[in-house]
Amino acid sequence: MNKLTPEELTRYSRHLVLKDFGKENQEKLKKSRVLMVGAGGLGCPALLYLVAAGIGKIGIIDFDDVQESNLQRQVLFNTHDVGENKALAAKKHLAKLNPFVTIFPYAEKLTSKNALKLFADYEIVLDGSDNFPTRYLVNDACVLTGKALIYGSILQYEGQLSVLNVRSTDGSHSQNYRDLFPESPQPHEVPNCEQAGVLGVLPGTVGSLMANEAIKLITGIGDPLINKLLIFDSLTLQTLTVSIPNRNSRANIKELIDYDDFCGLNDQKDKSLSMKEITVQELKSLLDTNADFQLIDVREVHEFEQANIGGEHIPMAEVPHQIERIETTKQVVMHCRSGGRSGNIIQWLEKNHGFNNLYNLKGGILAWAKEIDSSLDVS
């Protein structure tokens, strides 16, 4: 039943008196089904406004747990949620916001095996993911299931937003993510938010705009960002809107593929298998015996200042400009928070500067805090 109850008429009264909106469009929201991929920086504000607006059914896909470093921007969560699955924690809070919305959490990783099934029962998909394999997977699943896709992304001070794969009255579809980005960048070419950072309020802005576009699609009001990409600069508050070309990419999307292969991640994994590693126990032995080696910490300044294990500090972005500081005639151990960034920079150094004496600390400083020094604060 999609008729508004007396309680809903009161709750949504500001929508109902809005010119060109009214009761009919509010009932469209109540009837609608929206799926959010990722309950992170973008997902949190988008979900808050979608639930508040009265979307009838909302699905949330996220297999990750809440971390303390998320709380700077993922405003749906609080300190007590740390360690809890994001999809489940999101439902817990959102249910208190609006009891008239049905929320389905999926505490699982989105894959090519489950995507089509998960997407089947929803009309619109919002992509708040933070990696390219998931973005291409979401896009292709939307194309194959005929779902409209609202894409958002954030990094440092810039956000992007677009409305993709919308079906028109003649049965054709608007451009999709592969028309915007035909080829995935290589894994080392684009840093993620952990590596490059993100201004805390930026996902709030872009996530809210994603919810805005969803409401426009459902109700038919306004002019959605179809075939357009909005670029938002939070430092200047300037926006740039560019047209997305039609590359006829839709015809080539016939099935879901191995997206790690497409984005070069499996190739990166193969390379990492040959990369030399050292465990935290082996590192401790080197330190205890005063072995002649070099320890380099490639984390950011704030991470190093919060907690470190005595290594030389060369942030990852500075390594290419400080090659001369890295020893070539003895063992060099490099580490970051969990091993990803240091592994990437080791591969870059080996490929571009011929180093053969570099070792990655397996598990990074997190493993050191867990297995060697539990007093170390690396939260």
Nearest-angstrom CA–CA distance, 177 and 205: 21
Catalytic residue among 44, 142, 263, 336: 336
Asked if 203 and 44 count as a contact pair (C-beta separation under 8 A), the reply is yes
- Tell me the C-alpha distance between 15 and 21, whole Å: 7
DSSP secondary structure letter of residue 187: T
What was the pLDDT predicted at 123? 97
* Co-location of 42 and 191 in the same domain: yes
- 177 and 107 fall within a common domain: yes
**How many Å apart are CA 365 and CA 376, to the nearest integer?**
9
Q: What is the pLDDT of residues 160-183, one digit of tens each?
A: 999 999 999 898 999 999 999 877
Do 321 and 204 lie in a common domain? no
Q: What is the pLDDT of residue 343?
A: 87
CATH of the domain at 306: 3.40.250.10
| pLDDT over 70 (residue 194) | no
Q: For the residues 246-272, what does the mean pLDDT come to? A: 73
203-234: pLDDT as tens digits: 999 999 999 999 999 999 999 999 999 999 99
Instruction: Please report whether residue 247 resides in a domain.
Output: yes
Count: domains in the chain = 2
Per the structure, the complete domain to which residue 302 belongs is given by: 275-371
Residue 354 lies in a domain: yes
- Distance (Å, whole) CA 220 – CA 306: 50
Using the predicted structure, report yes or no on whether residue 135 has a pLDDT greater than 80: yes
Residue ending a domain, choose from 239, 267, 295: 267
What strands, in cross-sheet order, belong to the sheet with 332-335?
277-278, 358-361, 332-335, 294-297, 312-313
One domain for residues 256 and 321: no
**Strand (E) or helix (H) holding 358:** strand 358-361
Quick check: is 263 catalytic? no
Q: Is residue 312 part of a domain?
A: yes
Residue 146 has pLDDT above 90, yes or no: yes
The verdict on 293 and 259 lying in the same domain is: no
CATH number for the domain spanning 95: value is: 3.40.50.720
> Given 267, 289, 304, which residue is the final one in a domain?
267
Nearest to 58 by CA among 211, 213, 223: 211
Render pLDDT for 272-327 as a digit per residue (tens, 0 to 9). Answer: 556 899 999 999 999 999 999 999 999 888 889 999 999 999 998 788 889 999 99
d(CA 162, CA 164): 6
pLDDT tens-digit map of 5-60? 999 999 999 999 999 999 999 999 999 999 999 999 999 999 999 999 999 999 99
**Known active-site residue 193:** yes
CA 190 centroid distance within chain? 13
Question: 238 and 329, same structural domain?
Answer: no
One domain, residues 241 and 150? yes
Single out the catalytic residue among 44, 142, 193, 263: 193
Q: What is the pLDDT of residue 266?
A: 60
Residue at token pair 């080539």: 252
Q: Are residues 133 and 233 in the same domain?
A: yes
Does residue 268 register a pLDDT over 60?
no
In the predicted model, what is the mean pLDDT of the chain? Answer: 90
0.75 exceeded by pTM: no
Looking at 247, 267, 287, which one is the last position of a domain? 267
Check whether residue 339 and residue 356 sit in a common domain: yes
Phi-psi region of 288 (alpha: psi -120 to 50; beta: other; left: phi over 0): alpha
Pair 279, 145 in one domain: no
CA distance 105 to 86: 9
- What tens digit of pLDDT does each residue of 75-93 get? 999 999 999 999 999 999 9
Residue 270 has pLDDT above 60, yes or no: no
Together in a domain, 74 and 198: yes
Which residues are 104's β-sheet partners? 59
